[in-house]
A and B are shown apart, each in its own frame.
Chain A
């Protein structure tokens, strides 16, 4: 059932949350129109499509009202395109476990990166880097549990948590370099480190995650407008 460019995605290329949706659209081979947004000067379309949060990504599917929030968009796409590359597993407990870890990443792990950026001074930054490392150890344990010896969180192929965490790898590499520390390393998170290399070259991701130069430019903009 061809759905063509019935799908519009409002977003900005450096946003990992936008990248998440792009990855899922790629995995499901869905054509879509990317509507690039200027976050410094938000369009009428964005402000009316997501009046509650005024943020990207927003998905517009045919004549339906818009859907914001990356995880909600992913579940929606998984439901309407259920026949191609399922993202979430089908069992209730497995689904709850997947949603739990996505929630952990979005409410506990990723906010640390923003905090790191905003925290001045070496001592402050060191404390946050320590928390990021602790978080990465939890994620290592989660990976071992979910993958159960297979290459991805989703098992044999890319699944929900691969997308939810994988979209951030451009930024984790950037943050590692910028702050001179390793988030994923051989000693502490060996399986996850292997996974980062594996997923980085997956075809659904590699054209979506921006180059480090793009991320650097975006980072400078964030430092200027949201210090």
Chain B
């Protein structure tokens, strides 16, 4: 049985990937020390604990690092398997589904969403918007009439995606789009997830994220 002491999270306040880990820790009620990293000046600890990628989030449990957010969430579920709730379903087929959709968020949602503020030029932005909506609609297809992404319980796939809901306001403003209108089921799912304390107390306000992106763009001279 893993102890709740000696858990450190190296993170960056606005990282969707770090937020996943924070939500998972909150779901399990695990106490931890949060350490904010300056990504322009990474700490020696971060470089030591994640020498391969040098990225956050990194969970350090009893001195040992765990890296990659979806892997960390599964680690949290397994190391604290005696603490409820479970973050993955018990059925092997549903577990495979949960992993698939968590991975889909990484492969498709993250890339498509980033393009909205990274592309320049109206034509490219229109293409990026179309791509993003297509990807979000695939998620809506998976959601269907279910309360959560896989099965009846909040878990890995929801945790993987919900931090990106913080991006919606920014995407809507910069992309001149309305994600909630185009994807109403996804919007309803966001509201449902926000009813969980682990989510509502962890996610930063979408306006704060918007300010952050505008600052980033200013620095790049947009």
Interfacial residues, chain A to chain B (CB-CB below 8 A):
52, 61, 64-65, 67-69, 72-73, 75-76, 79-80, 92-93, 95-96, 99-100, 103-104, 138
Contact = CB atoms under 8 A, between A and B. Distances in A.
A80 B93 CA distance: 9
A79 B95 contact: yes
B74 A104 contact: no
Chain B: interface secondary structure?
Answer: helix
B34 interface: no
Nearest to A138: B52
Given A72-B96, A92-B2, A100-B68, 16 more contacts: A52-B104, A64-B93, A65-B93, A72-B99, A73-B96, A75-B95, A76-B95, A92-B75, A93-B61, A95-B74, A96-B71, A96-B78, A99-B71, A100-B67, A100-B71, A103-B68
B78 A95 contact: yes
A75 B96 contact: yes
Contact of A69 (B2, B67, B103, B138): B103
A93 B64 contact: yes
B213 interface: no
Nearest 4 A/B pairs, CB to CB: A92-B78, A79-B92, A92-B79, A96-B75
B66 interface: yes
Interface of B: 2, 52-53, 61, 64, 66-68, 71-72, 74-75, 78-79, 92-93, 95-96, 99-100, 103-104, 138
Nearest to B99: A72
A67 B100 contact: yes
B156 to A, nearest CB: 12
A173 to B, nearest CB: 25
Contacts of B64: 93
Contacts of B138: 52
Nearest to A101: B52
A76 B96 CA distance: 6
Given A80-B92, A93-B79, A69 B100 contact: yes
Contacts of A68: 100
> Which of A65, A96, A100 is the most central at the interface, judged by chain B CB atoms within 10 Å of its CB?
A96
Contact of B103 (A64, A72, A96, A138): A72
A96 B66 CA distance: 7
A61 B74 CA distance: 24
A73 B97 CA distance: 10
B66 A93 contact: yes
17 contacts: A65-B93, A67-B96, A68-B100, A72-B99, A75-B96, A76-B92, A76-B96, A92-B75, A93-B61, A93-B79, A95-B75, A96-B74, A100-B67, A100-B68, A104-B52, A104-B53, A138-B52
Contact of B71 (A67, A103, A138): A103
A11 B43 CA distance: 45
Contact of B93 (A76, A92, A100, A103): A76
A71 B78 CA distance: 18
Contacts of B71: 96, 99-100, 103
Contacts of A93: 61, 64, 66, 75, 79
Contacts of B103: 69, 72
A93 B74 CA distance: 10
Contacts of A67: 93, 96, 100
Contacts of A103: 68, 71
B20 to A, nearest CB: 14
B124 to A, nearest CB: 22
